[in-house]
């Protein structure tokens, strides 16, 4: 049985790994955090494609035949390129959950929180134009959230103030659906819920991505029924000890990490 690979610019994709592990508990998962080059959000698309290509080559060497691009920015810049470059690999990408937000809003006002690489990308533009023509879409780039999550700073008063600065103006304008368009942002969801106080719903696409990944797995193989938990392997292009600490803090998994592609 081949492994399932996931990668992100850093620890954000751990929110997706957590969802995939819940959906496919007996499958082995390999996660790569490209922390040496984090964040991807403001990098040119050509550079993101090159970084994504080398990570994909590494994950293939780790026997991954399904790869989740657990990064909205990399999905926007590199997903089509990766599918063309590695036609024998099944890729699952992140897409801002604009459609469910547009369908569920009561006020007709939806916010998408994401990086410039996502908001300026063709994937988001097409999704918004196809599914949100009848609603007002606010787009916001919270410029320090990725860095805060990468430090594990997800509950401090300073982080709460940063989240408040982003959310309060949206809530005042009547936004009732907030799309988390970066995989780092779910780790700030407790603060967002505290500030929103039920006035807005958070939409995290991680579960939908996990379901899509499972459907690909089950299309290729019968569901595995085993009395075992799938193994989790963690790699980073940054500092392995720091990454181990963040994995333990963010998803409550104690596991060794190894440095690769440094």
Q: Which of 54, 68, 50 is nearest to 3 (CA)?
A: 68
CATH code that applies to domain 98-203: 3.40.50.1860
Q: Where in the chain is the domain with CATH 3.40.50.1860?
A: 3-94+206-259, 98-203
What whole-number distance in Å separates Cα of residue 14 and Cα of residue 31? Answer: 8
Give the predicted TM-score (pTM) of the model. Answer: 0.93
Task: Give pLDDT tens digits for 22-38.
Answer: 999 999 999 999 999 99
The mean predicted confidence, pLDDT, of the chain is 94
Q: Identify whether the C-beta of residue 181 lies closer than 8 Å to the C-beta of residue 118.
A: yes
**pLDDT tier at 249, thresholds 50, 70, 90:** very high
pLDDT value of position 223: 60
pLDDT value of position 262: 76
Query: Stretch 53-60: mean pLDDT, rounded?
Result: 98
Fold of 3-94+206-259: Rossmann fold (3.40.50)
Task: Give pLDDT tens digits for 209-236.
Answer: 999 999 999 887 666 556 678 899 999 9
Q: Identify whether the C-beta of residue 146 lies closer than 8 Å to the C-beta of residue 41.
A: yes
Which amino acids are annotated catalytic? 71, 182
CA distances from 163 to 114, 138, 155, 190, 201 (A): 13, 16, 10, 10, 15
């Amino acid at each position: 049985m081949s492994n399932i690979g996931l990668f992100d610019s850093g620890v954000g994709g751990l929110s997706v790994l957590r969802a995939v592990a819940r959906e496919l508990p007996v499958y082995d998962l390999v996660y790569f955090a490209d922390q040496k080059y984090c964040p991807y959000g403001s990098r040119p698309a050509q550079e993101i494609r090159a970084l994504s290509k080398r990570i994909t080559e590494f994950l293939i060497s780790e026997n991954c035949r399904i790869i989740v691009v657990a990064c909205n920015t990399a999905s926007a810049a590199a997903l089509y390129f990766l599918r063309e470059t590695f036609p024998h690999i099944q890729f699952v990408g992140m897409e801002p959950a604009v459609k469910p937000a547009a369908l569920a809003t009561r006020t007709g006002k939806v916010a998408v929180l994401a990086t410039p690489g996502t908001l300026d990308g063709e994937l988001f533009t097409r999704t918004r134009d196809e599914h949100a023509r009848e609603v007002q879409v606010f787009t916001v780039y919270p410029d320090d959230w990725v860095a805060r999550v990468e430090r594990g700073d997800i509950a401090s008063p300073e982080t709460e103030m940063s989240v408040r600065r982003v959310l309060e103006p949206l809530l005042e304008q009547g936004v009732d659906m907030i799309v988390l368009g970066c995989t780092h942002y779910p780790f700030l969801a407790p603060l967002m819920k505290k500030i929103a106080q039920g006035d807005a719903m958070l939409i995290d696409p991680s579960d939908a991505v996990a379901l899509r990944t499972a459907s690909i797995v089950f299309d290729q193989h019968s569901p595995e029924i085993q009395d075992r938990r799938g193994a989790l392997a963690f790699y980073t292009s940054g500092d392995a000890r720091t990454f181990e600490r963040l994995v333990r803090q963010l998803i409550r998994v104690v596991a060794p990490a190894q440095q690769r592609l440094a």
